[in-house]
Amino acid sequence: MDEEYKIDFPSETTTEGKVKIVVPNLKAYGVKPSDYAPSRAPVFYNPVMEFNRDLTVLAFQACQRAANRDITICEPLTGTGIRGIRFAAEIQGVKQVVSADINHRSAALAKHNIILNELQERVSVEHKDANRVLSDHGAPKTRFDIIDIDPFGTPVPYLDSAIRALRNKGLLASTATDMAPLCGVHQKACIRKYGGKPMRAEYCQELAVRLLAGCIAAVAAKHEIGTRVVFSHCSDHYIRVYTEIGYGAQKADESIKNLGYILHCFKCLHRETTGKPFAKNLQCPECGAQMEYAGPLWLGKIFDQQFIEQMQKENARTAFRNNAKITKLLALTKNEADAPATYHVLDQVSQNLGLPVPSVATFLQTLTSNGYLAVPTHFNSRGIRTDASAMEVQKLMRELVAVGQ
Ligand SMILES: C[S@@+](CC[C@H](N)C(=O)[O-])C[C@H]1O[C@@H](n2cnc3c(N)ncnc32)[C@H](O)[C@@H]1O
Ligand SMILES: [Zn+2]
């Protein structure tokens, strides 16, 4: 590739984390308010995703600390090259980063940025299809410790080759921005891509994470590989799932035991999980209405407390612009790690009961003082995870409002 690459479109130099990056000048590409400048530019770049990239640096550093040796990373949908460059510049113990992009201008700009940061020794970029790059690394001894899939829309087309290109105990990080299918607006697309039915419940962002995690588990199991979700989040317009893999048929068998369904009653907000087949016209055990379901999806944990603690330690060592936002997200996810699946959105509960909405702090207090586990969730600032049933939640909300009157 030409190292004297001349950038032939409006561009500017920006800084992020510890690196300097030439990016498209987005002001030149967002003419109308409806224009999404990052996609209109000749090379994709979205400054809003800095938060996503910061968290990725922390998660990958946590993974490297656990491995306790030098690691390799592949980032086959690189855009400007910013991720791979940040990984090499900011994560300790990174031996090699392999980046790629199918867009020749991306690959050329990424190369330019690698040189700008003097990282040619440890970061390479290929002008290739992501699946080709991953397949080139599918054989033992050529595999990566970490793979970051950061696509337009869904990561599903890359999951199979990514799983095959990961070493035992490797980490797969996947972004999905196709929230309309994952949240049930385009149900058929979700079933086609992720192999599970979505549902437009108030906790659909969590269902989105569980659908992607379930899909990853199913893909890995075909290769006799088990999966464990160590961290996930939903921010802005996307979800992100970090999955550790483990080689072995037994591990795959164990991990697919986590696949199941979430049943929901839209009339009384009762919800339950099941790993077993169930009757199609299942009636709500609380009110008799017909329940809907989402799945198959991942019913196992979607956050690992220890992993998040390590990310917190790494965050304390950095000075990211997003530090306060990261601190908040890590505290919330760590706190909700061991709480039950799904959450209650107070506005939805109040609306169902025709009552005024209490504050989240007040209702958390009500639940805990009645002996229930109750924690906020990062998925929704008005949401509460609790081991109280939907009926108990409603009873307590009625009582709370009665006392207040
Ligand atoms: C969302 S952007 C990546 C953003 C980048 N990771 C970042 O953090 O700024 C997705 C990128 O994937 C590239 N791409 C799309 N299809 C691809 C494929 N089949 N193989 C490799 N790259 C592809 C696009 O050209 C685009 O640069
Ligand atoms: Zn019901």
Q: Are residues 266 and 185 in the same domain?
A: yes
| Structural domain includes residue 312 | no
In this structure, the residues whose C-beta lies within 6 A of any atom of ligand 1 are 44-45, 49, 53, 76-80, 82-83, 100-103, 106, 129-130, 150-152
Q: Are residues 66 and 203 in the same domain?
A: yes
Q: Give the Å distance between the CA of 391 and the centre of ligand 2.
A: 9
pLDDT classification of 207: cutoffs 50, 70, 90: very high
Q: Give the Å distance between the CA of 336 and the centre of ligand 1.
A: 32
d(CA 264, CA 268): 9
Give the domain CATH number at 248: 3.40.50.150
| Structural domain includes residue 147 | yes
pLDDT score recorded for residue 280: 77
| Amino acid identity, position 98 | V
pLDDT classification of 403: cutoffs 50, 70, 90: confident
Percentage above 90 pLDDT, the chain: 90
- Six-digit token string for 201: 């419940």
| Structural domain includes residue 258 | yes
Report which ligand 1 atom has the smallest distance to the Cα of 75: 6
Ligand nearest to the Cα of 84, by number: 1
Give the residue whose CA is nearest to atom 8 of ligand 1: 83
Mean pLDDT of all residues in 204-224: 98
Q: Give the Å distance between the CA of 77 and the centre of ligand 1.
A: 4
| Structural domain includes residue 17 | yes
pLDDT at 339 over 80: yes
Give the domain CATH number at 389: 3.30.56.70
- As a three-state string, the secondary structure of 319-388 is CCCCHHHHHHHHHHHHHHCCCCCCCEEHHHHHHHHCCCCCCHHHHHHHHHHCCCCEEEECCEEEEEEECC
pLDDT at 84 over 70: yes
Mean pLDDT of all residues in 2-9: 73
Region of poorest pLDDT, from 29-38, 71-80, 243-252, 305-314: 29-38
Give the residue whose CA is nearest to atom 12 of ligand 1: 77
State which of 78, 149, 235, 237 you would mutate to test the pocket of ligand 1, scoring each by most atoms of that ligand within 8 A of its C-beta: 78
Q: How far is CA 117 from CA 49, 85, 90, 156, in A?
A: 20, 8, 12, 32
- Six-digit token string for 135: 């397949």
Helix (H, G, I), strand (E, B) or coil at 15: strand
| Structural domain includes residue 308 | no
pLDDT score recorded for residue 275: 94
Q: Are residues 162 and 258 in the same domain?
A: yes
Q: Which residues have CB under 8 Å from 166's CB, separation 6+?
A: 143, 144, 145, 146, 147, 172, 245
Mean pLDDT of all residues in 36-53: 90
Q: What is the DSSP secondary structure assignment for residue 400, as one 8-state letter?
A: H
pLDDT at 2 over 90: no
Q: Are residues 251 and 357 in the same domain?
A: no
| Structural domain includes residue 28 | yes
pLDDT, tens only, 371-393: 999 999 999 999 999 999 999 99
Mean pLDDT of all residues in 60-75: 98
pLDDT at 32 over 90: no
pLDDT score recorded for residue 39: 77
Helix (H, G, I), strand (E, B) or coil at 89: helix
Q: Are residues 271 and 368 in the same domain?
A: no
Q: Are residues 276 and 382 in the same domain?
A: no
Last residue of a domain, one of 282, 298, 314: 298
Last residue of a domain, one of 298, 316, 332: 298
Ligand nearest to the Cα of 272, by number: 2
pLDDT at 129 over 50: yes
Q: Are residues 281 and 376 in the same domain?
A: no
Q: For the chain, give the mean pLDDT.
A: 95
**Count of the separate structural domains present in the chain:** 2
Q: Are residues 280 and 351 in the same domain?
A: no
Mean pLDDT of all residues in 165-170: 98
Report which ligand 1 atom has the smallest distance to the Cα of 53: 8
Q: Are residues 53 and 202 in the same domain?
A: yes
pLDDT score recorded for residue 31: 60
State which of 26, 36, 43, 44 you would mutate to test the pocket of ligand 1, scoring each by most atoms of that ligand within 8 A of its C-beta: 44
Ligand nearest to the Cα of 389, by number: 2
pLDDT score recorded for residue 405: 46
Ligand nearest to the Cα of 23, by number: 1
Q: Give the Å distance between the CA of 244 and the centre of ligand 1.
A: 23
pLDDT score recorded for residue 4: 64
Q: Give the Å distance between the CA of 353 and the centre of ligand 2.
A: 13
Q: What is the DSSP secondary structure assignment for residue 300, as one 8-state letter?
A: S
pLDDT score recorded for residue 34: 64
Q: How far is CA 374 from CA 50, 59, 272, 301, 366, in A?
A: 31, 27, 17, 17, 9
- As a three-state string, the secondary structure of 204-247 is HHHHHHHHHHHHHHHHHHHCCEEEEEEEEEEECCEEEEEEEEEE
Last residue of a domain, one of 245, 274, 298: 298
pLDDT score recorded for residue 196: 98
pLDDT classification of 8: cutoffs 50, 70, 90: confident
Mean pLDDT of all residues in 171-198: 98
Domain range spanning residue 351?
A: 343-405
| Structural domain includes residue 286 | yes
Percentage above 70 pLDDT, the chain: 98
